[in-house]
Amino acid sequence: MPPIILINGLSEQSLPVADRGLAYGHGLFETICLNQAKPVAWQAHIERLKAGAQRLAIPLPDNIEQLLLEDLSTLLSTRSASTVRQVLKITLTRGCGGRGYAVDAETPINRIVQLSAFPVYPDQPADNGITVRLCQSRLAIAPHLAGIKHLNRLEQVLARAEWSTTAIREGLVLDTEGYLVEGTMSNLFWCRDGVLYTPQLDRCGVKGIVREQVVRLAQQQGIPLQQGLFTAAALNDADEVFVCNSIIAIWPVIKCIAIDQSQFEWSVGPITRCLQSLLSAEGIS
């Protein structure tokens, strides 16, 4: 099922070459799971989109949420209502500007909304767990960009280019000071002695929507949670490890291959299973 795309509410397949998203990565995106044609955690995605736009000086129209909902309705009208799960990607760019970094305040943004088929995972990684690797590529420390999903993803692209085997499903990346941050497409958690740990993301990385849900659910369940700066050595003593995002929900990690090719292994643990179940009850699975 090929993706269908709207640009500024119209069925289009291309943008002008002067678009600032192409020229400078001046834009944002959100990837949202649709369950029975309903966007999961819609308000959380919209709030992060608006916060990111403010950070990047992208002036959003007051009715941006209504425009996006209208786009979604148009896209869904072209698809079978029986499609259970789909992927909605929203991209906002600062629009088309002239040469140079400065932009005219009156330049309108570009709004791109794409609907795609939900990926199929025949190896059932949510049940069986995955193998990951530590990446050599590092993330730059940039607090003014931390947390948001801006279009500058070259660091993740380079990290993902470090392996080609399908046996490895994700790569874990550190910052330039050697602290764990996230996966190339996911957020990272691990457990030790009943305590849940995750890297703080105030210096770099993306504050994923599912990450925030996991934090909330852990607090509701009374699971101790620590966010901080941790080196990769913290994983050596972990009892269980998992990664998460809006499409995969939670994937347990059962093996990690270090840069020196040494390996660490874990079982799928009870805290991981508990959080998977709680997310599933909220329509995230």
Annotated active-site residue 12? The verdict is: no
* Structural tokens at position 75: 């896209």
Distance of CA 22 to the CA centre of its chain: 20
240 annotated active-site: no
Task: Show the tokens assigned to 97.
Answer: 């500007």
Write down the H helix ranges in 57-193.
64-76, 125-128, 154-160
* Nearest-angstrom CA–CA distance, 126 and 250: 6
State how far the Cα of 31 lies from the Cα of 209, in Å rounded to an integer. 10
In angstroms, rounded to a whole number, what is the distance separating the alpha carbons of residues 178 and 138?
8
Beta-bridge partners for 96: 19
- The first and second tokens of residue 141, run together, are 């420390």
Q: Which residue has the tokens 């500024």?
A: 8
- What DSSP element (H or E) covers 49? helix 42-55
DSSP reduced 3-state for 285: coil
Q: Which of 91, 149, 170, 240 is catalytic?
A: 149
83 as an active site residue: the answer is no
CB-based contact 57:109 (threshold 8 Å): no
Burial of 41 (0-12, 13-18, 19+ CB in 10 A): buried
Q: Give the torsion sign (CA, 57, 60, 65, 69).
A: negative
Q: Of residues 30, 155, 170, 182, which has the active-site annotation?
A: 182
Eight-state DSSP code of residue 63: T
Question: 83 near 115, Cβ under 8 Å?
Answer: no
Please report where in the chains the tokens 């947390």 appear, as a residue: 147
Active site residues: 31, 149, 182
